[in-house]
Amino acid sequence: MLDWTPETRQRVFEEFYQLPARQVMDTTFANAAFLPAHCDITEVLDALVIADHAWVRAEDRTDRRVNSIVLRQDLLRALEPPHASYTRISRTRSCSLAHGSADCVCCFTEGRVLHSVAPDTPCRDVLHVMETKGVLYVPVVEDGLLIGEMGALHLLQAVHALASREATAS
């Protein structure tokens, strides 16, 4: 357990807020999958049984140009029977796998805005995007290509690494 004085905490967070996304982002995409824009729902299910989320490639692309993300919770919402969705109808867009209406990844990503950041965006701004837009993962994009991703775990790991370094330095 880290023993922080208020001064130490201040230094750690000041440094963390200034870190550029490129120093924190995950470039391995170890917990992600990549899906084409028009793939069968069974491919989404296959991917999300293993991965936390899936980046949806832009139309007819094989590179890392992405236009959306599919989360496990999207798939769970689609599994919900239509009669149980009435309270969240605007969020689920009436998709239900139980009745065969959600048959393509586009059913999950239609109308979703992808909020991305540049590699030099400071962590302070990445946090702001995540909080104000309510997103779990932020794509780091350069020249239109996905080069990394940032989620809560990546940010927390960066803070922890800075705090650990500070603790060993004192």
pLDDT one-digit tens code per residue, 35-58: 988 887 888 889 999 999 999 988
**Tell me, what's the pLDDT at 155?**
96
pLDDT one-digit tens code per residue, 140-170: 999 999 999 999 999 999 999 999 888 787 6
Determine, yes or no, domain membership for 129: yes
CATH code: domain of residue 29: 3.10.580.10
Determine, yes or no, domain membership for 135: yes
For residues 142 and 118, is the Cβ–Cβ distance under 8 A?
yes
Determine, yes or no, domain membership for 29: yes
Determine, yes or no, domain membership for 1: no
* Mean pLDDT of the 18-39 span: 93
**Tell me, what's the pLDDT at 63?**
80
Domain that holds residue 46: 6-169
Domain count, the chain: 1
* pTM for the model: 0.82
Instruction: Tell me the CB-side half-sphere exposure of residue 64, using CA atoms within 13 A.
Output: 15
